[in-house]
Each structure stands twice: as structure tokens, then as C-alpha cells.
Chain A
């Protein structure tokens, strides 16, 4: 039976067949940079995806009713009637009038103090939460109901307001996924070039090994191990730095206090996906190195 020490000695002897140091030059640093960018792009894609999902979940079942009436008394009466009608309507989970002071606060940055002077007729707003189910049909029903009360009542689903933004975020998410794919291809290409270079610069040793009866797989293993180790170190470095940057950006986003930017966050599952990227990078590098060296060896006798 082969002892552990013997196996270690055999492995060390095998590993000595290629000279010490890096067989593939600066590949470690290139992979570190690639992994850094890949993780950032993936994080952006996952974060934007989470934001779109969160936004969709938040907005899907909500609508706003505007009471567009210049006369304040009539507007308040109409709002009260609309509120009563909505609370009794089928498909409405909750309806609440938006505090005019809150409304004034929200438009003050754009319209200034005149917004609350009373000279500017602001519509009254009712926030409506719908029961789960077909939002479009419910909104259409409520539109008919409110139209029967007054033409000054308008209902708009929230999703309609933010649909273009959700579309933009979704497109950016897909762009990030595309960047990840391109970075993966570029990483594979870098490893192929590095493995070819390593093969060429150790051609003499490979020839001797071949003539002594080494199989292509035996020789390819030497290269794939070394390149895999370089890729492991490079991937770990790239991932660590990218994780640090993501955490930093996360802190900055939280500090803005923006609900929209706050929605761009990475849940635990996304971190798990990001953590798989270095593992996938090492596997990709190892397989690319093996494939390249086997192909190169296949051209020799």
C-alpha cells in the first residue's frame, strides 16, 4: 500500500517536471483583473435584477387616484366620495388619501414655496392597494367606477409610471450579463494563449517526456495544474478586491437614502452566485489549459 508520504513525494516529483515559478507569465494578474471586472459586472446585473424584481413587486398591485379639481372644497368632497367608493369596491385591498402636506413636501423642491401657497391647484391623491391578481382588469373596473362619479377622477397604475425605468434597469442587467459572458470568453482566450506560450517555452522538456513514453494526458496534467493554481490565486485576488468594492458601493447607495437606489442591493443568493465565479474561473482556466496543451501535443508525433 502506498503511504501518504510516498504519494506526496511522487506528487512533488511530478510537479518538479516543469520549472518552478509561473509557467504562464503574467496570466495570474490578467486573471485577477478579469475576475475583478467579471464580479463587478455580475454584481451589477444581479443588483439591477433584484431592483427590478423589488420594484415590480412593490408597484404591481398599486395605483394612484388623482382628483383634478381646482376648487379646493369640491376637490375635498370629491376625494371623500372617491375614497368611500374605492373602499367598497371589489379588488381593492386598501385605499388611503395621501396627506396634502406630504404631497406639498414632495413637490416643493421643484415648484418652491408657491407649491403650498394655495394659489397653485394641486390634485388630491388617493393611494390604492389592489388585491393580488389581474391588475389591468381591476384598474379598468375602477376607472369605470370613478368615471361614473366624476370625470375629474383619474386612476393610474404605478407600474405605468415606472415601466420605462424598470425597462432601463432590466436592459442594464442584460448588458451586465453580456459583459460577464464576454469576460468569460476573454478569460478563456487569455488562458489558451498563456498555455500555448507555456507549451512552446517548455517544448524541449515535453519532447523528452514524450520520447520516454509520457502520454499526452500526463503532460497536459502538469500544465493544467500549474495554470489552475495561477488561476486560483488570480481569481481569489480579483474576487476579494471586487467584493470590497461592492461592499463600499453598497454603503454609498444606502447613504443616499434613495428608495430607488436602495432597491439596488445584493441578496445572499446573489453573493453565493458571485462566490461561484472564481470557482468557475478556475475550472474554465484548467479546462482551457488542458484542451490547449492536448491540442498542441496532438500535432506532434
Chain B
């Protein structure tokens, strides 16, 4: 499969601090399923921010969908962002919008007709088990429910890349399994999945997934090839 994401010697520095990410190089194949692990503060969220175009690197090259996004003009970024779904660690639900409207947001941003929005949003609400909470505001939802809304919002637009930062952090084991099943289903449909997590048992659930490990802002494998795929790890 062709490369959908390429990082070449990417470095990221916030202000005058030392580099949060250093010399990060890797390639993700389109349609792959990847886990990003590492201790807290290793740089997982920073790497994901570069991936979902919330941040530009201080150095290096990032190619998404075959284009260099580091030098990409600002006005072209929205088109790329619409191809990426994001589950934020802190959910980032719009507080004054209902769960329904939060989930519908990517479709509306993409300009989908209002009449075509209801069916997929309702289906997604049902799928994440919030069929009867569509009109609830985020503040009235539990942490787990908010996370499910965030996940539904990230996947509803059938993104080409789905980036999830600790997506199962606030849900029970059953919901975590269901989420992974959804991610796998999306993956089978061709979506490239990148999940940052501490949850190693979760990684083991997904067959065929590969793992990247970050350690103090550097990929643990200096060659940049992806190591520690779960099955191999289990067989070792």
C-alpha cells in the first residue's frame, strides 16, 4: 500500500524549550492500523498534533496524502483537515451544542445538505449507545458519554485518516472493545487509524496493527521502521 503519512527528521520545539520531538521519521501505509505508545510526556500528543495539522514542525518534512504539509499554504489546510478525523484527549466537544449537533459538525463543515445529515448522525448516536441522548448538552453527559460523542464526531465523515488520542481513557472495557471494533471496521473500509494509548491489552486486541513507541520525544526505533507489532511481541 502507498504511504499516506511520511515524517522525515521532524523536530518540534515549543518556544525556547528543548525539543519535544526530535528526529522523528516514519512512514504510515494507507489503510494501516497503528498504535502510538510511550510514557506520559513522551510526545505522543505533540506527534498527533502534527499529524492532524494543529501544529507545524520546527524542522523536518511531513507529507500527508503525498503532499508536503509543512510548506502548504494556510488556505489549503482545511481541505486536508477534512480528510482527517480526530478524537481529542479532552474531547473538545462544543459545549453549547447538543450531542447530535456535535456529531453533525464535520458534515456541516463539509457542506453536506441538512436533509442528508440526520440519518448518519442518528445511526452514529445509536451505535455509540446515545440514541436517546441526542439533545443532551456535553455538560450533562458523563465522561464516557462525552468520549463516545467525540469518537462519533471523529468517524462520521469517513475520514481517510483517523487520529485518536487515548480514545478509551474514559470508557469501560465493553465500550473500549466496541470502539476498537468500530475502528477496525473503519480500517477495513480503508481508513488509516492512528491511536495513541497506554492501554497495552487494547493493542493486543487488534490483529495486524503495528506499534510505534515514543521515548522522550524520539521514536524508540531509530531507523524509523515500525517495530513491536502486537502479535510478534506476543510470540516473542
Contacts and interface: CB of A to CB of B under 8 A. Distances in A.
Interface of A: 2-3, 6-7, 9-10, 13-14, 16-20, 204-205, 207-216, 218, 298, 301
A6 B106 contact: no
B113 A10 contact: yes
Contacts of A17: 94, 97, 105, 108
A298 B74 CA distance: 8
Contacts of B77: 301
B13 to A, nearest CB: 15
Given A16-B101, A204-B92, A6 B113 contact: yes
Of B86, B94, B114, chain A has the most CB atoms within 10 Å of the CB of: B114
Contacts of A9: 114-115
Contact of A14 (B52, B75, B108): B108
Contacts of A218: 109
Contacts of B75: 215-216
Contact of A212 (B101, B109, B113, B114): B109
Contacts of B74: 216, 298, 301
B56 interface: yes
State the majority secondary structure of interface residues on A: helix
B97 A214 contact: no
A210 to B, nearest CB: 7
B55 interface: yes
A212 B94 contact: no
Interface of B: 52-56, 74-75, 77-82, 86, 92, 94-97, 101, 104-106, 108-110, 113-115
Given A6-B114, A10-B113, A211 B54 contact: yes
Given A205-B94, A301-B77, A214 B109 contact: yes
Contact of A301 (B54, B79, B86, B101): B54
19 contacts: A2-B113, A2-B115, A6-B114, A7-B114, A10-B108, A13-B101, A13-B114, A16-B97, A17-B105, A204-B94, A204-B95, A208-B94, A210-B81, A211-B81, A212-B82, A212-B105, A213-B110, A214-B78, A214-B109
Contact of B106 (A20, A204, A213, A301): A213
B116 to A, nearest CB: 9
Nearest to A14: B108
The 9 A-B residue pairs whose C-beta atoms are closest, nearest first, are A213-B82, A19-B96, A213-B81, A10-B114, A9-B114, A213-B78, A215-B78, A212-B109, A6-B114
Given A7-B114, A13-B114, A16-B101, 8 more contacts: A2-B113, A17-B94, A20-B96, A209-B109, A211-B52, A212-B82, A301-B53, A301-B74
A207 B55 CA distance: 12
A301 B56 contact: yes
B97 A212 contact: no
Given A19-B96, A211-B54, A214-B78, A6 B115 contact: yes
Contacts of B92: 204, 207-208
Contacts of B108: 10, 13-14, 17
B101 to A, nearest CB: 6
Of A13, A211, A214, A215, chain B has the most CB atoms within 10 Å of the CB of: A211
A212 B163 CA distance: 12
Given A13-B101, A13-B104, A213-B81, A301 B113 contact: no
Nearest to B153: A212
Contacts of B109: 209, 212-214, 218
Contact of B105 (A18, A208, A215): A208
Contacts of B55: 301
A7 B113 CA distance: 8
A214 B74 CA distance: 12
A17 B101 CA distance: 9
Nearest to B154: A212
A14 B92 CA distance: 18
Contacts of A209: 105, 109
A20 B96 CA distance: 8
B110 to A, nearest CB: 7
B86 to A, nearest CB: 6
Contacts of A216: 74-75
A211 B86 contact: yes
B106 A212 contact: yes
A19 B92 CA distance: 15
Nearest to A21: B96
